[in-house]
Amino acid sequence: MTPRRRGPVGPTGLTRRQRRELAALGQQLAVEDPELAQELRKPNPARLRQQGARITLRLLWSGFALFLLAAVLDVQSLVLIACTVVLLCWLPAHLLSANSTPKGR
């Protein structure tokens, strides 16, 4: 059996109590080892690239699905929307990878 959660669960999947405990641990870490706490607050470049790639693939498949739908329904406005989606599919990966590179490089 899975344990039952008590209280409302937030978008992170944690209850309010768990979020408070986690915040208290973060504050304790900041007091005990500020350098490590600062390092942990930085975004993870590998995770950002992975998210960008996932969003890119979703946009690409959505664009292809819109092309298919436009061909089946014979609607020109869907072709324009599909072209826009496919042309913009590189943007999330590019922006997220640009944010993950250190400044000055």
Q: Do residues 101 and 50 make contact, with C-beta atoms less than 8 angstroms apart?
A: no
Domain membership of residue 81 (yes or no) is yes
| Torsion angle of the four alpha carbons 19, 21, 22, 28, in this order, in degrees rounded to the nearest 10 | 150
pTM higher than 0.75, yes or no?
no
The residue-averaged pLDDT of 39-52 equals 80
- pLDDT exceeds 60 at position 48: yes
Domain membership of residue 8 (yes or no) is no
Domain membership of residue 6 (yes or no) is no
Domain membership of residue 9 (yes or no) is no
- Residue 41 structural domain: 16-100
Domain membership of residue 3 (yes or no) is no
Neighbours of 6 (CB within 10 A): 9
Give the pLDDT confidence of 78-103 residue by residue, as tens digits.
899 998 888 888 787 777 666 555 55
User: Number of structural domains, the chain?
Assistant: 1
Give the pLDDT confidence of 49-83 residue by residue, as tens digits.
788 888 888 989 999 999 999 999 988 898 999 98
Domain membership of residue 4 (yes or no) is no
